[in-house]
Amino acid sequence: MKKIISFLLIMIMILSLTACGDKDSSSDSSAKDSSSVDSAESSSASSESSSKESSAKESSSADRNRANPTADSVVTKRASAYDLETISTKDFVEAMALGWNLGNTLDANGGDGTDPIKQETSWGCPEITQELIQAVAGYGFTTIRIPVTWFKFTDPETYKIDEKMLARVKQVVDWAIEADLFVIINIHHDNYDKSNNTGWINVTDEGYEKTSAQLKAMWEQIGNYFADYDYRLIFEGMNEPRNIGSGSEWTGTKGQWENVNKLGLDFVSTIRGLGGKNAKRFLMVPCYAATSNSSAWAKYQFPENDDRVIMSIHAYTPYNFALNTNGTDQWTSQSEKDKSEIDKLFSDIKSVLIDNGHYAVIGEFGAMSKNANIAAREDWAGYYVKKAKEVNIPVVWWDNNSFSDGETFGIIRRNMNNSLLFTGIVEAMINSWYGTDFKFGS
């Protein structure tokens, strides 16, 4: 036993001396050429770290794509890739491409006007998250429209907007800018509704003067609040301005068309008067009710010497298929009759607007889900976007997060990890715009 213990002690001493010798040898080598050794070690460590980071990113990307496949292979050019300082309006609207509306959220008008989150969730949509905005970009959309209803957060006498509401809108805009989307913000469900005494945009002759004063006061605040944002941020003056509750609510009268024109000029002159980036920011203006009636576009008065003003059009076309709940649930691109209204829409946009030096954005479009008519909607979406692409006019899908009742335009399930429900509809739009055969997950 004593011999064994002695043997073990000797071995421990030998190993200890060997280890010390290795340290000394390393130290001597380091002293002779410390820079070379440090550089080699640093390079090795950096390479190993980069390899680990790369592997982690690849793994993370693979996991993300399995959960929510992206269209990044098709959409390779995002908003910041353009020279927006010098870009023409023609090229700008083409760059906006395919868009998505954050509907029934910041534009909801429930709540008590004290908490923006209570308002944005008052119509049943969940609180907006950055993950939702990232998902929108990942699904191939290059533009997001963020409708905002302001009246519950605006003093009716001074027209001062509550800072809390401005801050919440800013947070969502910042997420969209970070996702490198073109971003539209507007004044949305603020139309005056006599039946419940809400809203303030009154397009009648007796309502114009007060409406004009408030519109200018509010856009001066919004414009100044976002003054330093680059040209990816677009302002839209109003949403579907109309005389709610009247017999001619959606068609308007000659005087109401003229009042909406004047309000549009008020909006543009207010933003331009702020200077800075607002002097050249792209602006969207609707005619009466943002109608798809080309007669209203033809009579719209655009500001002189300002080519960065774009017509905002809403076109759920054809109405009986896309929007009318009592209409048909079938549509096919094999029918000339079915296609005729879409053909006319984009033919009119070219002849009335583009050929006269003006451009448009289809700020809202979509076709409701009816009787599980997915195939018809996919066919319709592909054809609609194909015609839009022929004249390079961007289209922005109206998504109100509704899937089972009411106006069922939902495609992204915000309550289910922002998953995409109708992949075929989005694929049809992507492929029509980019001329591809893209499929999610392939």
How would you class 118 by CB atoms within 10 Å of its CB: exposed for 0-12, middle for 13-18, buried for 19 or more? middle
| For the chain, percent of residues with pLDDT exceeding 70 | 85
Q: 1-15, 160-174, 328-342 — which is least confidently predicted?
A: 1-15
Query: Looking at residue 441, what is its pLDDT?
Result: 87
Helix or strand or coil: residue 30? helix
Report, as an integer, the average pLDDT of 221-242.
98
Mean pLDDT over 139-157 rounds to 98
pLDDT in tens, 40-54: 333 333 334 333 333
DSSP readout, 207-250?
THHHHHHHHHHHHHHHHHHTTT--TTEEEE--SS---TTSTTTT
The CATH superfamily of 81-434 is Glycosidases (3.20.20.80)
What is the structure's pLDDT at 20? 33
Under the banding of pLDDT at 50, 70 and 90, the label for residue 38 is: very low
Q: How confident is the model at residue 35 (pLDDT cuts 50, 70, 90)?
A: very low
* From 94, 120, 236, 240, the catalytic residue: 240
Selecting among 364, 378, 407, 427, the annotated active-site residue is 364
**CA neighbor of 382 nearest in space, from 326, 319, 431, 311:** 431
- DSSP 8-state secondary structure symbol assigned to residue 125: P
Give the phi and the psi of residue 250 in degrees, each rounded to 5: -95, -10
Give the pLDDT confidence score for residue 47 in this predicted structure.
38
CA torsion through residues 81, 86, 90, 93, sign: positive
What average pLDDT does range 51-72 have in this prediction?
49
According to the model, what pLDDT value does residue 63 have? 35
Given pLDDT bands bounded at 50, 70 and 90, which one contains residue 312? very high
DSSP 346-378: HHHIIIIIGGGT--EEEEEE-----TT-HHHHH
Per domain, the residue ranges of the chain are 81-434
Rounded (10°) CA dihedral 295, 297, 301, 305: -140
pLDDT of residue 147: 98
Please report the pLDDT score of residue 184 as a whole number. Answer: 99
- Give the per-residue pLDDT at 442: 75
Task: Decide if 364 is catalytic.
Answer: yes
Position 369 scores a pLDDT of 97
Beta bridge partners of 432: none
d(CA 378, CA 428): 6
Condensed to tens digits (0 to 9), the pLDDT of residues 356-410 reads 999 999 999 999 999 999 999 999 999 999 999 999 999 999 999 999 989 999 9
Specify the range with the lowest mean pLDDT, choosing from 22-26, 106-110, 124-128, 148-152. Answer: 22-26
- For 325-361, how does the pLDDT look when each residue is reduced to its tens digit (9 = 90+)? 999 999 999 999 999 999 999 999 999 999 999 999 9
**Which pLDDT does position 46 carry in this prediction?**
38
In this predicted structure, what is the pLDDT of residue 69?
Answer: 80
Please check the confidence at residue 203 and state whether its pLDDT lies above 70: yes
Radius of gyration of the chain from its Cα atoms, rounded to whole angstroms:
29
Please name the residue that has the structure tokens 């992206």: 70
pLDDT > 90 fraction of the chain, expressed in percent and rounded = 83
Whether 109 and 153 have beta carbons less than 8 Å apart is answered as: no
Q: What is the mean pLDDT of the chain?
A: 88
pLDDT score of 272 more than 60:
yes
- Name the CA dihedral angle for 417, 421, 425, 427, rounded to a multiple of 10 degrees: 50
